[in-house]
Amino acid sequence: METCVRDRQILPTGHRPPRPIPALDYETEARHHRERGKLLLEMGRYREALAQFRQALTVHPHDAESWSSRADALACLGLYDDALQSLEQAQELAGLADPRFWVQKAVLFILLNQPEAALTCCNQALWRSPSHRQAWLFRSVALHRLGQFQAAYRSYQRVSQPGLSSPAESIRQLCHDLAPHHQAS
């Protein structure tokens, strides 16, 4: 008995036809643009990085990381007010709990010569993460710019300590530092 297979292709054993590559979903495509933008940012190619972040946000406008990265690129270009708006969007999407965004915002306020706002942002970050070294560092910078040198020195000490104190102790120290600040206001 013979079998006729004129109408179909016979492939060698073990060989399968290539599967079509699935289209990228919007989150994957946005991540691709965002990561490419971060590489360009590190290379100092700020305008190209900004273009990548814009593409990421065109594909996925609710991505807090892309908004935050866009803020970095804008800040590198000296567009601090625009960077702050981008960061506000990131915070709105991610919620206020992430101390990274508070610290990033504090840096922008320092660049905008608004040390009081920077100090507030650092304090917000420290309430959420009492041992956040960058928050302590930029808090020091803000206090220094406000002429509060003793408080700035105490904050600088917290950055340089090899092991920061426990979260409870850090909160206690932060409250101690805030008390004279609020009495002076």
Enumerate domains of the chain plus CATH numbers.
26-95 (1.25.40.10), 103-185 (1.25.40.10)
- Mean pLDDT calculated for residue range 133-156: 95
| Higher pLDDT among residues 162 and 113, named by residue | 113
Indicate yes or no: pTM above 0.85.
no
In this predicted structure, the answer to whether residue 150 has a pLDDT above a threshold of 70 is yes
The tokens describing 143, both together, are: 């206090």
Q: Give residue-wise pLDDT tens across range 16-48.
A: 666 655 556 888 999 999 999 999 999 999 999
CA nearest to 66, candidates 92, 41, 37: 37
Cα separation of 49 and 29, whole Å? 15
Which of 14-28, 83-97, 113-127 has the weakest average pLDDT? 14-28
Cα separation of 170 and 164, whole Å? 8
Q: Are 29 and 59 in contact (CB under 8 A)?
A: yes
Cα separation of 89 and 17, whole Å? 46
